[in-house]
Each structure stands twice: as C-alpha cells, then as structure tokens.
Amino acid sequence: MDDLDRRVIDLFAEEPRVGVLEASRRLGVARGTVQARLDKLSSSGVITGWGPDLSPEALGYPVTGFLTLEIRQDAGDAITHEGAHDAVGRHLAAIAEVLEAHTITGSGDMWVRVVARSNADLQRVIDRVLDDERVERCSTVIALAEQVPFRTLPLARA
C-alpha cells in the first residue's frame, strides 16, 4: 500500500466506470502498472470485489434493525465439536433478511443486522431469527437514520 495504490483505489472508488487505460492516463503511469497494482490489491485481499452495491431500501426493505441475540452456551455439537455460534450462524445465513451477523464479546452474544419491509414485517423477521432452539433471547433496536453511510474509503486514504 504505497501512495500509488491509494490513488488507484481512490480513483476507482470515485469513478468505477473508468477503464484501466483511462486510469493510467489520469494517474500518469503506464497501463501495465495500473493493471499490476489492481491485480496485487485483489490477490492481497485489499479489494474483495467489484460487485454492484444494492440498496435494501430500493429493494423494498426500508426498515433496518439491529438485534442482539443471547445464545445457549451449552448448545454446541458434542460430536462435531461445532460451536453453537456456528450453528446459529448457519441458521441466520438461511434468512435473506439477515444482512450480517457477528459474534461479540459478552457471554453468549451475537449481533445481527436485519432489514424488513415495514415495522410490522420486522416482527416476522425477528420471529424467524428466534426460530432456533439455541437462540434464547433477542433484544431489538431500530435504526432511525443513517448519520454516516457505510464507507471504507477514508481508511484506504489514511
């Protein structure tokens, strides 16, 4: 991650439509250099993808909720030695409205981000999340406004 890497990322983040050739012109380096940098950034894992970013809101899911789950500690699989968290993770991954889930510090807690079509619909989603014996409790918080939209660019610039 030298300065050129940062400028490459910056340029493609600002204007994803520019091609490699145009980028090389703007950055004042050879085309092959830009290609090599992009390849390296991809293979080193800094750039994880180029997929289209989708807006849950525009897809009809304007309500975002943050759930904190309490997981039964003794619910691991004694045979596979798989932790309860992973089992719950699979349960959650099967629910489309679950956008992400993490285990967090605290006895048996997980943090889950869900979206729903309405506040009423959120109840349905929560019920689906709760539909696993390993999930003991769920506290819900509703997101009202997005003060800082998700971003990673400032990190790369720093």
Partner DNA sequence: CGGATTTCTGCACAACCTGTCCAGTTCTGG
Partner DNA sequence: CCAGAACTGGACAGGTTGTGCAGAAATCCG
- Tell how far CA 86 is from the center of its chain: 17
d(CA 92, CA 106): 19
**Partner whose footprint covers residue 120, from a second copy, DNA, none (CB < 5 to 8 Å by kind):** none
156 belongs to the binding site for a second copy (CB under 8 A): yes
Tell me how far, at minimum, the Cβ of 31 lies from a second copy, in Å.
Answer: 17
81 belongs to the binding site for a second copy (CB under 8 A): no
**Largest interatomic CA distance in the chain:** 59
63 belongs to the binding site for a second copy (CB under 8 A): no
The DSSP-derived string for 3-45 is HHHHHHHHHHHH-TT--HHHHHHHHTS-HHHHHHHHHHHHHTT
Helix (H, G, I), strand (E, B) or coil at 91: helix
Side chain identity, residue 139? S
Tell me how far, at minimum, the Cβ of 27 lies from DNA, in Å.
Answer: 8
Using the rule CB under 7 A, give the single segment among 30-38, 55-63, 94-102, 125-133 that binds DNA.
Answer: 30-38
Using the rule CB under 7 A, give the single segment among 33-41, 85-93, 102-110, 116-124 that binds DNA.
Answer: 33-41
Helix (H, G, I), strand (E, B) or coil at 122: helix
Using the rule CB under 7 A, give the single segment among 22-30, 48-56, 81-89, 93-101 that binds DNA.
Answer: 22-30
**18 exposed, middle or buried (CB, 10 Å; 0-12, 13-18, 19+)?**
middle
Our CB check for DNA shows the closer of 22 and 136 to be 22
Our CB check for a second copy shows the closer of 21 and 66 to be 66
Our CB check for DNA shows the closer of 30 and 96 to be 30
Binding residues for DNA (CB under 7 A) = 4, 17, 19-22, 28-33, 35-37
